[in-house]
Amino acid sequence: MQILFVVNDLGYFRAHRQMLAEHFASKGHDVVVASGACTEEAKRAWPDNIALVELPIDKHRLNLLADLQLLWALLRIIGTRKPHIVHAITIKPILFSGLAVSLRRLFGGAEKLVWTFPGLGKVFEPCDRAMATVRKVIVTMALRLSAKVSGAHATFENACDRKILIDYGIVPATRATVVEGTGLDTDVFKPEAKTSINGLTFLMATRLIEKKGVDVFLETARDAKSKGLDAKFVLAGLFEETDPGSMDPSTIQKAHEDGAITFLGAVDQSEMPRIINSADVVCLPTRLQEGFPRALLEAAACGVAMIASRQSAIEKVVVDGETGWLLDPPDSSALIAAVGEALNNPDLVSEYGRAARALIEALPVSNAEVADAFAEVYGLRDDGH
């Protein structure tokens, strides 16, 4: 079996989906990853048993000439590699893989197309701007048509996103599957003994874009500092330089220099278990509609309490009053209130952490369970072949 993954950012793929590619490569399948943003950092120590092809893709903008080049590149890669499965992840690879496979269908192509929506992204967020509405209509029509022609099977990280695309008539329920998370090694992400210190440490590890709630975290950290609260705020993440909603680096740097936060910058995935275990609470006051946030899954696996926005997907892991606090709305007032409760009840924070670990062990989010779920979507046998 030949499997082609199509993604827009190699760093993202390595942090979230490389496990899946390695699993199928280890089963003897021919695995290729076609990706944009193939930086030298992202390509470092690339596994020998997975082929890598660089794609000309701008994940944030539509540009007629550049996108025609992307479509041609996909047609060429699929035509040359002749994969049995084309697995596209996130909206732009989904759109253009759908177009490429649909075009090939007209000339006898028979690739099985799998789409993975880690979240529905900006396109499906509520917005009253005319251009955003037009974009949503165009994207919806394109997805609906390509899904019909290509027979795409869509996967989602939560049932809410699945229902939205079914209701829009993009994919039928028979070709829409929920696969919770991206795979997690609970032997790597596990609780570690904490050094007893005064106060609590609150960690936010995310892409540094405003709607992820980074602005709310900074405002809360400044508020806590002005009130003299015995709390440490740690921020880790990568700047999304090409994203229009990216945080201004100078804003974060100033908060770091002022002592409101400790900024770690981009952190290698291998360091995340240690960093999460150095915290008492992981925060995600996001205003985006999330899929199934990996940061929260990793926090729960490490036995760390959580504070996050009230969303149906997030509520699967952040159970209000059991594993953490849910924010509604996810603003600085709600976050500082939750921080205050945590500081006043450190034993409760520990209790929430223990409950979070127990919860994660009961969810189907392990590497093996996620790989098995995709093997079923691909139509492979139980042994992965």
Ordered domains of the chain (ranges, CATH): 2-183+366-378 (3.40.50.2000), 200-362 (3.40.50.2000)
Residue with tokens 């993954």: 5
Pairing mode, if any, of strands 176-178 and 305-309? unpaired
Measured CA to CA, the distance from residue 353 to residue 350 in angstroms comes to: 5
pLDDT digits (tens, 9 = 90+) for 182-210: 999 999 999 998 876 678 999 999 999 99
Average pLDDT, the chain: 93
- Per-residue pLDDT band for 170 (boundaries 50, 70, 90) equals very high
Query: Considering the entire predicted model, what is its pTM?
Result: 0.91
Report, as an integer, the average pLDDT of 294-302: 97
Please determine, for residue 235, whether its predicted confidence score (pLDDT) is greater than 90. Answer: yes
Instruction: Retrieve residue 227's tokens.
Output: 């009130």
Measured CA to CA, the distance from residue 146 to residue 141 in angstroms comes to: 9
Please determine, for residue 63, whether its predicted confidence score (pLDDT) is greater than 90. Answer: no
**Strand ranges inside the chain, DSSP E:** 2-7, 30-35, 50-54, 85-89, 112-117, 153-156, 176-178, 200-205, 231-236, 262-265, 281-284, 305-309, 324-327
Reported residue count of the chain is 385
What is the percentage of the chain residues whose pLDDT exceeds 70?
97
pLDDT of residue 382: 60
pLDDT digits (tens, 9 = 90+) for 1-41: 999 999 999 999 999 999 999 999 999 999 999 999 999 98
Which residues lie below 8 Å from residue 278, measured CB to CB, with a gap of 6+? 194, 201, 203, 234
Q: Which residue has the higher pLDDT, 128 or 302?
A: 302
